[in-house]
Chains A and B, each alone.
Chain A
């Protein structure tokens, strides 16, 4: 679905751009999760400046491959690259927007936000250790909720995705068994359960299977009114998946001390922080063969930082505070043209 929207916007941009011959033409590829907001930004940016931006939402792995192969002007990834990988490939990365991952369930008689879960319990459910909803571990946490003796069906993503990366990395942080077993990655060796393709695939399986538990992106869960659960965060509080709580997780993070903006927002200590929060990133080469192209890419994201918050929030993404945006702007000075001068300042 996201791919189609992005492709549609790109097609529109190409059609309209033919008339404006002087405009810059930028291309990017990568993550599907932020694709709707990038498409929206690109549309508004073209309307204002005439510069067009084509994006292919082909997945984070594809984005990283294509920026390394130099076939696109920027790459997009839901998973931050480690500082070493950035250095080897001559890239910088910076975060654009924040999203979160939300556990969703289908238990007859259980309302959205009624069920409380913790990281270790979710891990045991997804490892196939806890198999019934009336398991003592779950009922002890939820004294007021009547849980049926119903078998749990685990639903996970079948396609590799940043959503799975955040979810499984969180489980690895909270449960030693998970870290030693499946581990954290875009796709893992799931001990149990069935795989749905994309957020809509997971959502469909959860809806059709009484007793199911799955995980989807926050925006998807919200727009489809799914039965989300509460999760216990690092401060010990059971929090709701709300935009304010994602922002709380992001605000507590110290981006200034994260080299190369390599920072996961999982399990943050802030009292209201939603535990499975993550930023999505843009990758750009530090040495630009064409200074103008480098300038145009950074100018677009600068414009998006200044003017794009409302559009992002309208699509249920969380945006960064000005302090973090300014840190990113400082980092952009590392992007230089063939003459060694910063391309954008």
Chain B
């Protein structure tokens, strides 16, 4: 702060003298720049280090299994045969389902808080959303397994399964064991976990919409719904995509909560109620006891796969943002 103030004060003086005078405290300025530079490169170095060590650790698995590592869903630690197709599908499906559930709800929460909420309710609801974001994921997992699963089984799974007409697609999607776990249950828990992130970010974004813009829309006779859909939402569109991607990033990498409730079976999930697994849950389950060799290498390699999936998601988000910027 002081450096900035000094530089600013020194500039008019330099202008009047018509000579380049080194501003007072420029030594500190240089040191400050170096510290910032070091912090930024440290981050990059850490990222590179993680990537390189994942590559080295996972290389035996890639070299041994080749393409079948990505296409096979066999996970057999006894015979040292590993393929991560099942966990990849599980990761992508649960994350997308979670977003499908969380995004509309988050929209609702954020718009309610900004546009509709009566004054005295604003703070309690806002704080509740922030508190929800601070709960550790293992608590969500335990809650999911011991509280949510029995309720989900009794009031969602069983009715849906018994109501399904035999032979229909509906029956296909709802087959499995009605014990409250599986792909859909994990997706719902994930949705609850990413909801506060998306909702809180969206609320902040909506608050940045200038009051004049909104009020002129109302002045033209627009209804609340029209203002939201045609004025405020387009105004913050880019930021909203960023918020959703943030949520997706968290859903992809979530470990403990998913491990508790997804059922942990390595094959392809066949229905919404079937047990599955994600890359993160597989690593959490098996790394501690994995034998050195192909088992450990395969787990590290699957970590690299998750890294790449997350990278692709972020890159896609960037592309979408970039395209909108040019429009």
Residues of A within 8 A of B (CB): 58-62, 65, 151, 153, 158-161, 182-190, 193-197, 201, 204-205, 208-209, 212
Contacts and interface: CB of A to CB of B under 8 A. Distances in A.
A5 to B, nearest CB: 15
B54 interface: no
Contacts of A158: 259, 264, 277, 281, 285
A204 B77 contact: no
Given A158-B285, A195-B285, A189 B153 contact: no
Given A158-B259, A187-B77, A194 B265 contact: yes
A184 B177 contact: no
A152 to B, nearest CB: 10
B289 A60 contact: yes
B259 A197 contact: yes
B145 interface: yes
Given A187-B77, A209-B177, A209-B179, A194 B260 contact: no
Contacts of B146: 204
A195 B266 CA distance: 10
Contact of B78 (A188, A195, A197): A188
Nearest to A187: B77
A313 to B, nearest CB: 27
* In the complex, the 10 A-B pairs of residues with the closest C-beta atoms, listed nearest first: A160-B289, A59-B288, A195-B264, A158-B264, A189-B76, A183-B78, A209-B179, A61-B289, A194-B263, A194-B275
B289 A161 contact: yes
A186 B295 CA distance: 12
A153 B289 contact: no
A265 B180 CA distance: 37
Interface in B137-166: 145-146, 149-150, 153
Nearest to B150: A208
Interface string B260-296: 1001111000000001010001001110111110000
Nearest to A58: B288
Contacts of B285: 158-160, 187, 195, 197
A61 B291 contact: yes
Nearest to B177: A153
Contacts of B81: 189
B264 A194 contact: yes
B179 A208 contact: yes
Contacts of A59: 288-289
A195 B180 contact: no
B180 A182 contact: no
B69 interface: no
Interface of B: 74-79, 81, 145-146, 149-150, 153, 177, 179-181, 259-260, 263-266, 275, 277, 281, 284-286, 288-292
Given A159-B286, A208-B179, A186 B265 contact: no
Nearest to B291: A61
Nearest to B256: A197
Contact of A205 (B75, B76, B181, B284): B181
A294 B250 CA distance: 45
Given A188-B77, A194-B275, A159 B288 contact: yes
A62 B289 contact: yes
Nearest to B259: A197
10 contacts: A61-B291, A153-B177, A186-B291, A188-B78, A189-B75, A189-B77, A189-B81, A194-B181, A204-B149, A205-B179
A195 B177 contact: no
Contacts of A194: 177, 179, 181, 263-265, 275
Contacts of B76: 182, 188-189
Contacts of A205: 179, 181
A195 B78 CA distance: 17
Nearest to A179: B78
Contacts of A183: 78-79
Nearest to A183: B78
Nearest to B292: A65
Contact of B289 (A151, A159, A182): A159
